[in-house]
Every structure is written in structure tokens, then in C-alpha cells.
A = this chain, B = another copy of it.
Amino acid sequence: MGMGPAAMAELFITRISLFPILFFLSSYAAELPINVWPKPVSFDWPSPGAVLLSPNFTVVSPGHPYLKPAVDRYTNAVKTEHHRPLITPALNLTSYTPLKLLNITVNDVDAPLAHGVNESYTLSIPYGGSAYLSAETAWGAMRGLETFSQLVYGGGGEEPRVAAGLRISDAPIFPYRGVLLDTSRNFYGVEDLLRLIRAISMNKMNVLHWHISDSHSFPLVLPSEPELARRGAYAEEMTYSPEDVKKVVEFGLQYGVRVVPEIDMPGHTGSWAEAYPEIITCANMFWVPPGTSAPLAAEPGTGQLNPLNQTTYKVVKNVIHDTIAMFPDSFFHAGADEINSNCWNTDPSIQNFVSNNGTLSQLLETFINSTLPYIVSLNRTVVYWEDVLLSPSISVGSSLLPRENVVLQTWNNGPNNTKRLVEAGYRVIVSSADYYYLDCGHGSFLGNDSQYDQPPGTDQGNGGSWCGPFKTWQLIYNYDITYGLNDEEAKLVLGGEVALWSEQADGTVLDARVWPRTSAMAEALWSGNRDETGKKRYAEATDRLNEWRYRMVGRGIGAEPIQPLWCAKNPGMCNAVFPFSE
């Protein structure tokens, strides 16, 4: 009955010896002999080959204040990167003359970097002659330049080569592809932000969502409210001056990356109390009052703006005004997540309000009504966390949140909340904690936590992480952000955003915590996570992502390895299931 292991093994050996494994490997390798991440939508390459890149290679492009530095950067990069792919591309070097010119045409050179800007491009690299990159906008041209740079390989001892005989037509599926970085729980230097923007751009993503302030620190120096950072930042050297912000924003423009600021309010504002104790409720209290099980905040670091205090609005409007003056992007993120009843209820004026039959949701309405129109008057689309509409305890009606001015960012409850938001008619940015929270699976940061002192053998559960387990690149890659939506609803999904909440992160771990996992989202949102037949293409993506990770490392991004190098050198051999045709 059945085959014994030895017999089975023998059968297997026989089969293997009939078909040398190298044969399988070559037939298994991704169809393209060179890797572009994210994979372009259309890659037409009838007879793959390569030409040398001329030492005199130049790029001709229309005049544009931000495309120009990008052109200079890429012109230099392709000559000096000398990337050696993990597996040498099976591309014959043709005898055609080296490529000397990339000619860029842009149809609408005036299109600003803004949500929904056309990022499409086509890139042709014929054998012999010049290469052509045409794009509707300068920002699309930047995406095409990135693709071009990834088609160049080798060099060092010899001249670099560039894949040739090809034509790529490319454009993103989703217009919004972002990374959230929290610079309040722990501080990041400007150089960290610039490096992050650089990597975002490499991955053809286009938004840095800068969660600047929170209850833990207020690092942004504002001309009208300098005391907020002077007292609320961790240290003088842990602040962002207006010059720092300008540097980040300009850098973003040169890399085609929008910088969307978030000033989280009215919750998550404990740090404001250092300068304005009178406008913050429950500031600096122990987060779970002793003898209760009613936390004042989702985590240590308490404090919320008091909507009943008129000084609140004076400060808030100055903050909004100054922040918007520094950040030209048309989106302004105003937070509104995790508003805590207990925190507001510690305040005598609010207690009085409640005892006169007021509700906390009315307090939030007051706050929104006193701030949202002001933000809109400054020509900004307001982004809020979903809580503002969906929180079961404190939320406002949709009548206060005009759909033309408001975008909602979802993070709870997987696709269910996305569905609720689009059903309510809102445009949505998807940051599901189940898939897109990069900090998950790393334990809890709480001190004196007895859960870590249990007898051996006790189930360790998720290790204390509220959103554990760790979100692997595969999990991120496979998530469909329009899951369960009909076509009309899906149109309201602007895109997705991974989030690095920084309770346990700062500049020392930034790169590895973000990359290459975020590259997985980058491809899923750019060209999708499925092949032509509609099948999820995560198997084929593994080797490509591995290769892309090494290229990022070569570019100074400390992305973490996803596999033993052996796996990249032996494609398919590290798969969970036998990958080769039998």
C-alpha cells in the first residue's frame, strides 16, 4: 500500500536525472531577462538583447525646474551605478553602436505635481540610434527615467550595458501610492526623510505622508507658534525648521514625491500641552488611571485639544496656516483618529457640557466645524482618518464632511471599512493595519508588562503586538485594496499607503523596516499583483523582488534581505511548492 520513502526518493532521483535541473531553472526564470520594479504594465521585447551605454551618453529633455535635476541625476546614475544583477541577464550584446542619447518629450510641461497627475510614459530603446521617452507630464518622465535606469546594468571594469530592442508603455493603476512616517514618537533627521523620498521615488511611488506631530513630541517649528516646538520637541536639535521643511518639499519635487503633512488633532496632541497646557485635556496623565481599566489614550502619551476652549482655535488656526504655508501639496491631513472619551471627560468644562446633555460627538462636530472650513478656504483637500466618520464612540455625520473636500484614510477592520467609506461616497486611501502597518509584530513597547514573564510553555500569542503578526512582503503584495467593491465603488479608492508608526523605530531601523516590504505595495498599486491570466503573481515576484532589494542596497537604501542569497541564485528552489514543469 503506497510507496515507501526510499522508493519514492528513487523515483524522484530518476526523474531529476532525466531532466537536468538547470533546464528547469532556465525555463522557470521570469520571462523578462532584466528586472524593472514595479513591473511595467506593458513590456514589448520581441528579441531581447543589449547594447553598450556610451561614455558620452546624454539625455535631452524639455526645460523644467524639477525634471532638469532628475535628468542630471539619472544621467550620472546610469554611468556610475554599475549594478550587477544576481543572475547575469541572458542578453546578447549586439554589435549596434552604443546608446548615446535618450530623447525626452513632455506634452504638458506645466502640469504640477498633484494628486491624479498623469504619470504615464512610453520608453523605446531600439537597436542602434537613440532611445525615446515620451510622457504627458514631467512626473511621468521621471517614472520613465527610473525605468530606464533599471534597464542599465554592469559596468565597473567594462562599460555599462542597456537592454535594447524594447518598448514599454506604462502607467499606474492607482494615483495615490504612499508611505506614512511618524516623526513624533521618535525623531528622524532630515537626511532620513530625504533618503526615504529617494527610495519612494525609486519604487515609482509618489507620496510621503509626514505624520509630523503627536502626543509624544511636536518637532515642527512654526513661525506663528514657535513655543509648540520649543517646548514640545524632544530637543532643540530634534526639530524641523521651516528651512528643513523647504528642503524636504523641494527634494520631493525633484523626485516626483508629494509631501503631505499631517497635524493630528484634536486627539494625539499631548505634546501641545508643553506650550499650551490650558487647551489640552488629560495632558501628562498616566495613561490608564490607577484603579480603572479606562485608558485616557490608545497608548501612553495622553492629551487632546479641548474644543470648548477658544484659545484652542487661535492656536490650531495658526498651526494650520503655517503648516499649509510650508507644504504646497493640495492635501492636508488633519488626523482626527482615536479620540478618547475618558480624556475629554477629565476636563471640568467638558464634564459640565456633558452634564447639560451635550455629547462628545457634538464636541468633535464643534471642532470640525471650526477647522475644516478654514482648511478648505486655504485650497486644501482635507484628509482625515476614518474614525471621524466611523468611530462608534465619537464621530460626526457625513453632512459635516463634504465629499468634494474630504478624503478618508482607512486603517481598521480590513476591507470592511473601505467598503463602508466608499458606500458613504468618500474617496479613500487604504492603510489597513492588517496589511499595511509596518510596525506590527514587534511586540509592545510598554514597560513593566507581566505578559512577558509567564511560565515556559505559555502560549506567546502574537508576542504582545496589537496588530501582529509581522506583515511580510507577500502579505502586502497580495492585498487587494478594492476587495469586495463593485466597479463604481472601486473608483473611489485613490490608492494605498503603508505606515511606519515609530514607537519602536527611528533612523537606525528606517530603511529595513520600510524596504523592500513597501516595494511589494508599490508594484501591487502600480501594475497589480496578478499576471495576464488573472493569477496572483507572487511566486514570480519573489526573485524579482530579491533582485530589486539588492539594487536598492547598492543605491544606499538599507533594505532587508528577504531570502538567503542562495535562493536568488537558484530561482524556484526556495519555493514552498515544486515550481518546475514535470
Minimum distance in angstroms from A577 CB to a CB of chain B: 6
Chain A contact residue count (CB 8 A cutoff): 109
In the complex, A460 has a CB within 8 A of chain B = yes
The copy count of this chain in the complex is 2
* A566 & B462 in contact (Cβ 8 Å cutoff): no
Q: A186-B564, A217-B565, A561-B186 are in contact. Are A465 and B469 (CB under 8 A)?
A: yes
Instruction: Find residues 27-61 in chain A having any chain B CB closer than 8 Å to their own CB.
Output: none
Please name all residues of chain B whose beta carbon is closer than 8 Å to the beta carbon of A445 when the two chains form the complex: 562-564, 567, 574
In the complex, A73 has a CB within 8 A of chain B = no
- Of A163-171, A369-377, A500-508, the one contacting chain B is A500-508
Interface centre among A301, A559, A566 (most CB of B within 10 A): A566
Of the residues B215, B292, B441, contact of A12 by C-beta under 8 Å: B292
Q: A185-B566, A217-B566, A504-B562 are in contact. Are A468 and B463 (CB under 8 A)?
A: yes
Please name all residues of chain B whose beta carbon is closer than 8 Å to the beta carbon of A570 when the two chains form the complex: 284
Of the residues B441, B446, B478, B509, contact of A576 by C-beta under 8 Å: B446
* B12 & A564 in contact (Cβ 8 Å cutoff): no
Minimum distance in angstroms from A507 CB to a CB of chain B: 9
Report Cα–Cα, A504/B328, bound state, in Å: 39
Report Cα–Cα, A452/B471, bound state, in Å: 10
Report Cα–Cα, A241/B281, bound state, in Å: 63
Residue of B nearest to A579 (CB): B448
Please name all residues of chain B whose beta carbon is closer than 8 Å to the beta carbon of A512 when the two chains form the complex: 508-509, 512
Report Cα–Cα, A265/B20, bound state, in Å: 27
* A470 & B447 in contact (Cβ 8 Å cutoff): no
Interface centre among A12, A475, A582 (most CB of B within 10 A): A12
In the complex, A354 has a CB within 8 A of chain B = yes
Please name all residues of chain B whose beta carbon is closer than 8 Å to the beta carbon of A234 when the two chains form the complex: 565-566, 569
* B564 & A216 in contact (Cβ 8 Å cutoff): yes
Residue of B nearest to A474 (CB): B452
Q: A342-B5, A346-B9, A470-B442 are in contact. Are A448 and B577 (CB under 8 A)?
A: yes
Residue of B nearest to A573 (CB): B300
- Can you report 30 A-B residue pairs in the complex whose CB atoms are below 8 A from each other? A9-B289, A12-B289, A186-B564, A216-B566, A217-B566, A234-B565, A286-B579, A290-B582, A300-B564, A300-B566, A300-B574, A414-B457, A415-B456, A443-B469, A447-B542, A447-B567, A448-B575, A449-B474, A451-B576, A452-B474, A452-B538, A453-B536, A456-B479, A456-B483, A456-B484, A460-B475, A462-B462, A502-B561, A503-B564, A505-B561
Q: Which residues of A contact B (CB under 8 A)?
A: 5-6, 8-10, 12-13, 16, 21, 185-187, 215-217, 234, 284-292, 294, 300-301, 341-342, 345-346, 351, 354-355, 414-415, 434, 441-453, 456-457, 460-465, 468-475, 477-479, 483-484, 502-506, 508-509, 511-512, 536, 538-539, 542-543, 553, 558-567, 569-570, 572-580, 582
